[in-house]
Copies of this chain bind each other. A is one copy, B any other.
Amino acid sequence: MQDIEILGNKNEGLDFIDKTKQKRFAFSLVISYTATSEIQGITIAGEHPDLIKYTGPADAEFIHYGYCKSISVIPMTPDGKPTPALLTKTALEAASIPSIVINAGSKIPPKLPFIDMNLEYGKNISSEAALSQEEIRKAVEYGRIIGRFLGASTDCLVIGESIPGGTTTALGVLEGFGLKALVSSSMPDNPTRLKNEVVKNALKRVQSNDPFDIVAEIGDPMIPTVAGILSTSSEITKVLLAGGTQMAAVLCFAKSMDFNGKNTAIGTTSYITDDKSANLAETVGQIFDIPILVAKLRLGQSSIPGLRSYAEGFVKEGAGAGGASIACMLKTGMDAEKLLLLTEKEYQKIT
């Protein structure tokens, strides 16, 4: 596994790889929404405010169909930077990994069958509580039910997410739990100051140390949903949390509910772990001594500028791209170079 680097707990990382190599994988994409994404300048996802809500559904549809049904445009910035769902789709297809969409408070439903958590979308944390504590508890309870089913269905459950604005709510939850974190961004000039300001103001509303209060006030529906899925599925099978600091926020909240890190690894791209403005490995290390598997993708070698941009600090990760790539390499033994070739083919198909 030359193109998978292990950060964090090296021994457990080697064990994780050993136990899942050539085994059965299942991929789940948790799509969600926080109105925090509507704060101008906070996210690259969606070029216009009224398009942001399509991010999750568009990613889900792209992974399933190879095109989007809810919007007619290709999920790409005007200058050709594609959604990370392109990497996800390529990896899942190359390894024949089955996938399922979980709707955890998306503002609009995707046009495909999905597991419905019947959750409201998260409010803008700059002005009000994200969700009621009741919704958070339902997200966890429903997540636990789904985790039991998905955990029993595979040797390794990969959980990705697509929630525009989600790094800001993740930062809020991490700080709410007392962690010092620097979070990644889909933009090279990470709007750190803006994110910190939003979080600082939102934190003032948190009145207690109750984890449910923290997540209700400054979180989003994705975090308790994935925490619930993680807590039951990891009792049965290996779980790869596919993402960056957002998955650190999930771990933080799950830990407050007696989850102990068992059977769990983070899976992400090197563009996240190389990001100087963030510190994923350190953040995770403050929560659990678990492995972080890093897909050393070769997008920087691509002849396609839009793909190269990932190595230049844009997008970097999302829609479970890193975890899906790792799953593909683990299941099939494919290397990152072959994966790049397939990704370029997929890119050409949609342009």
Contacts and interface: CB of A to CB of B under 8 A. Distances in A.
Interface of A: 24, 26, 64, 96, 98-100, 103, 109, 112-118, 142-143, 145-146, 148-149, 151-154
A277 B217 CA distance: 60
A286 to B, nearest CB: 31
A7 to B, nearest CB: 30
A98 B148 contact: yes
A64 B145 contact: yes
Contact of A113 (B112, B115, B152): B115
Contact of A100 (B109, B117, B149): B149
Given A64-B145, A98-B148, A113 B113 contact: no
B113 A26 contact: no
A192 to B, nearest CB: 36
A113 B109 contact: no
Copies in the complex: 2
A154 B118 CA distance: 26
A139 to B, nearest CB: 10
A278 to B, nearest CB: 32
A221 to B, nearest CB: 13
A292 to B, nearest CB: 27
Given A113-B115, A146-B113, A98 B153 contact: yes
Contacts of A26: 149, 152-153
Nearest to A139: B113
A117 B114 CA distance: 7
A83 B112 CA distance: 31
Given A118-B109, A118-B113, A99 B142 contact: no
B154 A142 contact: no
A99 B64 contact: no
- Interface-central residue, A64, A96, A152, by most chain B CB under 10 Å: A152
A114 B112 contact: no
B117 A116 contact: no
A328 to B, nearest CB: 15
Given A153-B26, A153-B153, A114 B116 contact: yes
